[in-house]
Structure 1
Amino acid sequence: MVGQQKGMLPFYVSYNQPGAHYPMHYHDFAELSFVMEGTGSESINGVTHELRRGTMSLLLPHHIHELSSSSSDPIKLYSCMFDIHILFGNPYEDYMNRWIHKIGSELPSFHHFEGDRLNAVTTLIGQIVKEYKESHMGRDAILRGKLIEVVTLLLRAMLDGTESAAVQHNHPKMRVWNILRYIHLHYNEPITLNSVSSHFNLHASYISRMFKEYTGKTVGDYMHELRISRATTLLTASEMSISDICLEVGYDNYRTFARVFREHHGMSPSDYRMSHNRPVISP
């Protein structure tokens, strides 16, 4: 997680009230969210579910999601973002590795908690928030333990629940989401419409038409957005040189990077960094 202080648990908690629509995005880290009040909907990798009090969602790194909130009953939720590797490493937690990676495929990405289970996870979330705000000895150990506990309760509920995780992979919409996920995973590599076409064994013209229909953008434009979005994060939250950032986000030519960046932000990468009170680090 960019900006994480060395030696600290890669874990962050926030309380959010999203706007009417939070557009499609993804993270390099895992995100556990828990709705405290309000109603709305969330789409994860193209599968939409209801949001209401007690809904808990777990997004794995690079899962693509968007959220809509009711204007009359807006969503308020806690969001815990963390490096997924903190869930692993102990032999007594082998079950975690066995099940966690099935979320979004064999297991759903969410569960609606009710009754005693709702009370239990609400209490746990409260304990996590309280511990997160403190700086007592053993804080990180307790946070990791509470996180493992709440994720374990979520996995139990998913295994016992009735939410369907079945996905129609051949449906055009799911094809688009599979392509989107592939692009999100490989955007910093030299991929093109033709390479995407070859990977999915689909005609480039079909992918182009279908992608534009569902996203409103071309494959190339969407990839530029991902790269420039990542670049803005690195410019403001890292000490990387601008030339290294250019390569990191997938551009092998600085001139192209600078041109596309200016098209999106109306200024050069160095001016953008300076405008966010960061020193310009020489290439």
Structure 2
Amino acid sequence: MPIRLYDRHGELSHLEVSSDVWFFMNHLKAQKLEAAHDHNYMEIAFVLGGCARHTTVRGQSACSGGDVLFIPRGAWHGYSECRSFELVNCLFSPTLIENELSWLRAVPPFSALMGGADGLNVEVQTLRLPRRALPLLRRRLAELEQAYRKRASRIRLLGHLLLVFDLLRSAVPLTDSSVVNPTHEEHLHPSVRTALLLLHRDYGQEWSLTRLAQNLRLNGSYLTRLFKSHTGHAPMQYLSRVRAHRAATLLLTTRLRIGDIGLRVGWPEPKLFARQFRHHFGMNASEYRRKQLQPFRTV
């Protein structure tokens, strides 16, 4: 099967696409299912009609027709309070992102939205299309869906995908302030990129500015200035954000104890974990887990 759904006590918790799948899509009409999950492919979700509450690790927001959600690999999200909700999901393999669509990283607004295989982009982001663009978007997605269901060649599928991306590019102002991703690759300094890769890959290790600078063979003060100029954060502040995001995802996708999650993300001391988590999310981990999962509990 190209796609597998993993279940936890009757609730969808993880969606996994087979590694040999280049592209996957489905079309959900009058969606009522309240479900939250993470998955191993990048997803773009096109909301064509109705409304719902969209929940990510950062909280809840309303979504409705015209919203386009960019969901990176590993990100947890879900929909609740669905009313006549119509959604088209497109899942992109790392191969497709890194090869046929790699050039999109140099094209605004996709340069700030397209996550790569390195996993630097971990935040779910939303584009809001003007109402006038919806009829053409619906037509473009219908053409893509028809080609997908007929198992058209990759070249034909890619052609339809490019028409969808071209519509998004032309419909969204290049100055759209909702598109924010400080780690997109355009003009990223090689040392900053290496630092980001290290912090994202090995966030559970015991990092310090000195150790990171030694890995990069740079002066610590220079690294801080360079890193902050690209990301808006000092290296250890950025690492704290990565750890908090990962801790939140583990709280929502596993039944691990809070202390075990702290160990995994690099905050082994319970008081340190509690202080850092509250700093990022404004509540303790137990309250966060209960509040975020509440909309998806089965009665």
TM-score (norm 1): 0.55
In the other structure, the counterpart of 2:81 is: 69
Instruction: Say which SS state the counterpart of residue 73 (structure 2) adopts.
Output: coil
* Match for residue 161 of structure 1 among 176, 180, 193: 176
The alpha-carbon deviation at position 115 of structure 1 amounts to 3.9
Aligned partner of 1:86 among 74, 80, 96? 96
Residue 152 (structure 1) shift: 5.0
Aligned to 2:26: 13
Moved more, 198-207 or 31-40: 198-207
**C-alpha distance in 1 between matches for 2:271 and 2:33:** 35
Identity %: 14
Report what 1:194 is aligned to.
Answer: 263
Conserved? CA contact 1:39–1:51, under 8 Å: yes
2-structure distance, mates of 1:117, 1:194: 47
CA contact (8 A) 2:48 2:86 kept: yes
1:182 is displaced (CA, Å) by 6.6
Long gaps (5+) in structure 2:
5-16, 183-232, 294-299
Amino acid at match of 2:265: V
- Residue among 127, 133, 137 paired with 1:121: 137
The 1:158–1:182 alpha-carbon spacing in structure 2 relative to 1, beyond 3 Å, is farther
Gaps of 5+ in 1: 223-283
Answering whether residue 288 of structure 2 is matched by residue 214 of structure 1, we say: yes
- Give how far 1:47 is off: 4.5
| Correspondent of 1:33 among 31, 45, 50 | 45
Of Structure 1 and Structure 2, the greater strand share is in: 2
CA contact (8 A) 1:41 1:51 kept: yes
Matched residue, 1:132 = 148
The structure-2 alpha-carbon separation of the partners of 1:39 and 1:113, relative to structure 1 and needing over 3 Å to count, comes to same
1:97-108 correspondence runs (5 A): 98-99=111-112, 100-101=114-115
Query: Aligned runs of 1:128-277 on 2, under 5 Å?
Result: 128-136=144-152, 138=153, 140-151=154-165, 153-154=167-168, 157=172, 159-163=174-178, 165=180, 177-181=245-249, 192-198=261-267, 203-206=272-275, 210-216=284-290
1:198 match: secondary structure: coil
Q: In the comparison of the two structures, how many residue pairs are matched?
A: 207
The Cα shift of 1:30 comes to 1.5
In 2, Cα distance between equivalents of 1:175 and 1:201:
14
- Aligned CA RMSD, in angstroms, stands at 4.5
Aligned to 2:215: none
* Deviation of the 1:79 alpha carbon: 1.5
CA gap 1:2/1:194 in 2 versus in 1, 3 angstroms: same
Q: Secondary structure at the residue paired with 2:25?
A: strand
Q: 1:165 to 1:202 in 2, by over 3 A?
A: farther
Aligned counterpart, 2:106: 95
Report if the CA contact (8 A) 1:111-1:158 is conserved: no
